[in-house]
Amino acid sequence: AEDIIRTLPSSHKKLPRVDFFLPEILKNAIFVGHLVTDLDSVAGAIGAAALYGGTAALASEVNSETAFALDYWKMKAPQPIEELLKETPKADICLVDHQQTSQMNPSINVDNVVGVIDHHALQSKTIVTDKPIYIDIR
């Protein structure tokens, strides 16, 4: 990237802001991990919510490892997804750390899923939507 920047005119040498590239569809979404609420599921939801401008949620109670990490970093656990959906039943949802319906909290309506951010290979029971959604699987 630095080689490319050196070739630009001086008025264009500033690196672009990262938020310029963020998908608008995820803004204000609820980011929620899978039902086996482990550390990467919760941390991923918290990080994605911060990056994309949304709200992190828990799919189930945190395990002891996750509770320790949250306590160590002096962070409050996100609210359970059920509580957030009581307030806003049709909220946009982004699944984090999973894409299978079998790993989704049952309170999530697939029609409200607007994104998937995952690091697992696509597997059976991957969600199917009637509309295009944002997908980032690496």
DSSP string, 50-106: HHHT-EEEESS---HHHHHHHHHTT-PPPEEHHHHHHH-TT--EEEES--BGGGS-T
Residue 14 has pLDDT above 80, yes or no: no
Residue 30 has pLDDT above 80, yes or no: yes
pLDDT at 123: 85
Q: Which has the higher per-residue pLDDT, 122 or 81?
A: 81
Give the span between the Cα atoms of 73 and 82, in whole angstroms.
25
The predicted-structure confidence for 31-87, as pLDDT tens digits, reads as follows 999 999 999 999 999 999 999 999 999 999 999 999 999 999 899 999 999 999 999
CATH (residue range 18-137): 3.90.1640.10
What is this structure's pTM? 0.84
Residue 19 has pLDDT above 70, yes or no: no
Residue 95 has pLDDT above 90, yes or no: yes
Residue 20 has pLDDT above 60, yes or no: no
How many other C-beta atoms are found inside a 10 Å radius of the C-beta of residue 126? 15
% of the chain at pLDDT higher than 70? 84
SS3 55: strand
